[in-house]
Amino acid sequence: MIRLKLLNNLTNTQPYQSANTRSSSHQNLSAWWFVFFRASIFGLLLVHFGLKANTDDAHEWLLRMQESSQTLNYEISFVVVNGNKADPWRWFHGTVGDNELEILTALNGPGQQLIRKNQVITYLQPEQPAYSIKDTITDGPIPELVRANIEQISLSYDFHLVGKSRVAGLPARLVRIIAKDNHRYNYWLWLHEDTGLLLKSAIVSENGEALEQLQVSNVQVFSEPSEIITEVDKADLPEAVMIKNSAPMQNMNWQIGWVPPGFEPVKVDRHYLYGTNKELVDYVMLSDGVVWFSIYLRQMESGETVKPVAFNSGANSYLTQQIQQAEVTVIGKIPAETAQRVVNAISWKE
């Protein structure tokens, strides 16, 4: 099968060396980790010692990042650090004719892979059937800011161009996306001065703690799409499926009394719990254009009880709580206090 072949080819590819025009030096793994942590510390210090913020230039840099990310042909290796967990990824992107394609492959574990062709996203895992959905939100490691509507998110965030830095040996500009309230996190982006591509990102709490980071180690930009991109363009990927049992919010017997300003429902459906045919779950995903969180509500059996569970891992909050005779769960990259307030505001329609 061509899908399995593509997965194996991507995960077995040998790591390449950085090939930018400024440097062709080889880096071993130890040196790379040194660069990563040194860049992390230095980048965070720029918040206090950077240049004066420039909102107009920050807006232009964000637009440049989006244009470069969506039009250039490139291959990027990066790692995502969330809490005490580090996950390496490889990111291929290219355009073939009118098609924009990208491939994201997890390099640890069994080989999770995401393929996006325009607005259709295909999810692949070994020994599981591949499936495709038509969506604008990818459940992957790349920040939504790469594709966010800048005008829309400016209602909830301020943009500041702070200063210069170096990331993975490349010159970078630091743009801070600062939340206008304390119901969501801040985001810092380090963008390559020459191309505008994302070199590093951080999700930062209100008190300045970096909760999650994405750090690029190698970047290669090509004049033509890579061989693997052209191969995926020709691949017979699964047709996009429709979500069954979808239900608009107005048809549900419960309502959300409060969410942070700017968050709107982007997905609403009712489906059976995985592996069952009798336990229905209501599902709502809300997004402000930068980050999303999900609400799951399951009607409980008579006499059933659920113990409350709450924990954080990096930027992710997880909260489960019983409300009357329903189990409510909130998951997403939002502060724990925000998740708790959302749960407390859920009520039943009369």
Each residue's pLDDT tens digit, 52-86 = 445 569 999 999 999 999 999 999 999 999 988 99
Residue 84 neighbours by CB under 8 Å, 6+ apart: none
Give me the pLDDT at residue 328, please: 98
Give me the pLDDT at residue 350, please: 79
Q: C-alpha angle with apex 271: 265 to 276, nearest 5 degrees?
A: 150
- Angle of helix 227-234 relative to helix 2-12, nearest 10 degrees, comes to 160
Residue 250 Cα to chain centre, angstroms = 29
Give me the pLDDT at residue 295, please: 98
Instruction: Name the β-bridge partners of 286.
Output: 265, 293
* CATH architecture, domain defined by 249-348: 2-Layer Sandwich (3.30)
313: its two tokens = 């891992």
Mean per-residue pLDDT for 133-144? 84
**pLDDT class for 122, splitting at 50, 70, 90?**
very high
Does 20 have pLDDT greater than 50?
no
Give ranges for CATH 2.50.20.10 in the chain: 2-241
Does 2 have pLDDT greater than 60?
no
pLDDT tens per residue, range 270-308: 887 765 667 889 999 999 999 999 999 999 999 999 999
Q: Which of 21-25, 247-251, 272-276, 345-349 has the highest mean pLDDT?
A: 345-349
Mean per-residue pLDDT for 204-216? 97
Instruction: Name the β-bridge partners of 179.
Output: 157
β-bridge pairing 240-241 and 128-134: parallel
Q: Are the C-beta atoms of 317 and 331 separated by less than 8 Å?
A: yes
Q: Which CATH code is given to the segment(s) 2-241?
A: 2.50.20.10
Mean per-residue pLDDT for 177-188? 98
**pLDDT class for 138, splitting at 50, 70, 90?**
confident
Q: Are the C-beta atoms of 146 and 254 separated by less than 8 Å?
A: no
pLDDT > 70 in the chain, percent = 81
Give me the pLDDT at residue 279, please: 82
The Cβ-side half-sphere exposure at 94, using a 13 Å CA radius, reads: 21
List, in sequence order, the alpha helices (H) in 85-225: 150-153
* Distance (Å) of CA 235 to CA 99, 130, 206: 13, 13, 45
CB atoms within 10 A of CB 298: 18
Does 13 have pLDDT greater than 80?
no
126-140, 231-245, 269-283: least confident range: 269-283
Give ranges for CATH 3.30.200.100 in the chain: 249-348
CB atoms within 10 A of CB 3: 18
Give me the pLDDT at residue 192, please: 98
DSSP, collapsed to helix, strand or coil, labels residue 152 as helix
Buried b (16+ CB within 10 A) or exposed e, 319-342: bbbebeebbbbbbbbbbeebbebb
Give me the pLDDT at residue 276, please: 60
Residue 201 CA to residue 212 CA, distance in Å, equals: 8
Q: Dihedral (C-alpha) 7, 285, 119, 105: value to the nearest 10 degrees?
A: -20
Q: Across all residues in the chain, what is the average pLDDT? A: 85
Residue length of the chain: 350
Q: Supply the pTM of this predicted model.
A: 0.83
